[in-house]
Chain A
Amino acid sequence: MNKPTDDPALAAWQAEYDATLVGPDRAVHNRSGIAIQPLYTERDWQPDDAPGRLGLPGQAPYTRGIYASMHRGRTWTQRQLIGLGTPAEYNTRLKGVLAQGATAVSLIPCNSVFRGYDADQSHIELLGTCGTVINTAEHMDRALADVDLARTSCALNDPSPFTLLAFMWRRRSAGAPTGAR
């Protein structure tokens, strides 16, 4: 690959691939040390072949994926499920796993929150044992403090409408895009 092509679809793929990559393309090698190209097509076997019906990554019919770079441009997300104690305790734990190499956030609200109870309506023995107690937007702010939400994918487990709203507020005040990705 990466040679001049007269195939417009391939050229379009290359342009989109280059545009998608953030920073320089990182070299990928298999266990035998052989460099892995970002894309292989029929032409790698038979140079004169016309493109087949399979299409190219990021192009209809999307058989080879919806993005030109797929996991070459963005690797698997490392996202550990976390939910415990108070928002401050959650925040400490979250920043700990991010420092250890996690690349995304998972937030599990307390079961009391999930069932629609305020902390002061709940059995105190259960608070924070099965998730983080988040009853207010301020709790959400504290849980996600110092996390770059604009660049970090976030997952909420079983969000109640309120939890989702508090989360969206937090994202908006952090300047994060609110569209789906």
Chain B
Amino acid sequence: MTHDMIPKVLVTKIGFDGHDRGSRIVAAGLRDAGMEVLYTPPWQEIAAVVKLATEEDVDVIGISSLATDHLIVPKLMAALREAALGDVGVIVGGIVPDEDEAMLLEAGVARVFHPGSSMPEIAAYVRELAQRCRQRRAAA
């Protein structure tokens, strides 16, 4: 495992909300930080995200949620585990009430980014998470 690996990240939105500014900004920010980024429009089905993650062999999935769509992230986590993708890191960013954050972490989400998070902070975390996930997968 080298430290100059290029993380592969999928930035997407599941559920019914279409506010995609955040996911666009984060996708562009991670790209500018030197990562390989796959971006999708909003309204993705959970099965579509799992399929994309499988085919593209991503290290990290970033879910953007601005209007309660984070409530179905536990379903995504279960679907990933079922597809033997339990070692893919999942982060959530956007509007997540504090009481729901605990629920997401419990479901296996690595971290929740709230409004005010800086791009360098997100990028540094994703880089570190991607490395961990790729190592974990290589060891498996």
By a beta-carbon cutoff of 8 Å, the part of chain A in contact with chain B is 110-112, 114-115, 117, 122-123, 125-126, 129-130
Contacts and interface: CB of A to CB of B under 8 A. Distances in A.
A123 B72 contact: yes
Interface in B67-84: 67-69, 71-72, 75
Given A110-B16, A130-B67, 7 more contacts: A111-B67, A115-B16, A123-B71, A126-B71, A129-B67, A129-B68, A130-B17
Contacts of B71: 123, 125-126, 129
7 contacts: A111-B17, A115-B43, A123-B72, A123-B75, A126-B69, A126-B72, A129-B68
A150 to B, nearest CB: 33
Contacts of A123: 15, 71-72, 75
Name which of A114, A117, A123 has the most chain B CB atoms within 10 A of its CB. A123
Contact of B68 (A114, A115, A117, A130): A130
Nearest to B43: A115
Contacts of A117: 16
Interface in B8-41: 15-17
Summarize B's interface: helix, strand, loop or mixed: loop
Contacts, number: 31
Which secondary structure characterizes the binding site on chain A? loop
B72 A114 contact: no
Interface residues of B, number: 10
Contacts of A114: 16
A110 B15 CA distance: 12
Instruction: Kindly list the 7 A-B residue pairs having the minimum CB-CB distance in the complex, ordered from nearest.
Output: A111-B16, A129-B68, A125-B71, A123-B72, A130-B67, A115-B16, A125-B72
Contacts of B67: 111, 129-130
Contacts of A110: 16
Contacts of B72: 123, 125-126
Contacts of B15: 111, 123, 126
A130 B69 CA distance: 9
B102 to A, nearest CB: 16
Nearest to A110: B16
A51 B120 CA distance: 64
Residue among B15, B17, B71, B72 with max Cβ neighbours from chain A (10 Å): B15
Contacts of A122: 16
A48 B69 CA distance: 67
A92 to B, nearest CB: 20
Nearest to B71: A125
A126 B15 CA distance: 8
A121 to B, nearest CB: 11
